[in-house]
Amino acid sequence: MKLSHITLFLAGGLILASCGAGKDDPGREYAPNMYHSVPYEPLTQITDESSGAWVSSLENGVGEYYNSNPNNPNGMTMRVPPENSVPRSRGGYLPYRIPKDSLEMAARLLVNPLDSTAEVVAEGKVLYTRFCSHCHGDQGVEPGKVGEVYGGVTSYKSAAVVDKPGGHIFHVITHGKGRMWPHASQLSPEERWKIVRYVQVLQKQ
Ligand code: HEC
């Protein structure tokens, strides 16, 4: 066996030996300080107290990379959010982060948090009359007084709009589209969703 073969064999063995069996076992880590941050990071949860023990300089002998917070139920270093914190995902009442050019994504992802109850539709109608009807008209088909002059106002029953989901309309109200201006500064997300319900009623009439 040539020397190069032996080297190759040993190198291959080393590579295989570095593979871990368990899903939480990263196997042999070359330069572990490249994987594990010594400073606390909010989402790290290295719960193995011996992790990095061979470089540990701590008096209690705990591994250098052990940075799990024992007071957090998930062992994360992050603090547990205070009681009654509102998760970012719920309701869409936090700043709306889908960018203007991602209309298709908004249409796919957003779900109206308000059901189409008589009350919601009635409130949507009031808001629609204040913010939309002067351009889109009372029925959302023929343009209103301003729309006649402004020009290019889309009918809600046009093929491009009639089958679009509520998230599409919400995004258009929020960011505007083409010649239509954004309304995010005038209408809260909740008000926008109410208008969406009313526009959908108009579309079915
Ligand atoms: C200043 C006039 C004006 C106002 C006010 C206005 N719109 Fe529009 N809207 C337009 C114009 C113009 C278009 C056509 C946009 C384009 O494609 O260039 C449009 C398009 C739309 C569309 C179709 C979007 C698409 O996918 O093609 C919807 C839905 C819509 N508006 C809803 C509303 C709602 C709801 C309000 C009230 C919150 C509103 N608009 C207020 C002028 C207005």
pLDDT tens for the chain, 205 residues: list them.
Answer: 677 787 777 777 666 666 656 666 767 777 766 776 666 666 666 777 777 776 677 777 777 777 777 777 777 767 777 888 766 654 445 568 899 999 999 999 999 999 999 999 999 999 999 999 999 999 999 999 999 999 999 999 999 999 999 999 999 999 999 999 999 989 989 999 999 999 999 999 8
Residue nearest to atom 40 of ligand 1 (CA): 132
Taking alpha carbons only, the member of 116, 21, 32, 92 closest to residue 67 is: 32
Contact 97, 171 (CB under 8 A): no
**Does 145 sit in the ligand 1 pocket, CB within 6 Å?**
no
Is the distance from CB of 66 to CB of 57 less than 8 angstroms? no
d(CA 188, CA 163): 24
Q: What distance in angstroms lies between residue 202's CA and the mean position of ligand 1's atoms? A: 14
In the reported structure, the alpha carbon of residue 125 is separated from the centroid of ligand 1 by a whole-number distance in angstroms of: 16
135 lines ligand 1 (CB under 6 A): yes
**Max Cα–Cα distance, the chain, nearest Å:** 92
Tokens of 201: 């009623």
Pocket test for ligand 1, best of 162, 163, 172, 185 (most atoms within 8 A of CB): 172
**If 0-12 CB within 10 Å is exposed, 13-18 middle and 19+ buried, where does residue 87 land?**
exposed
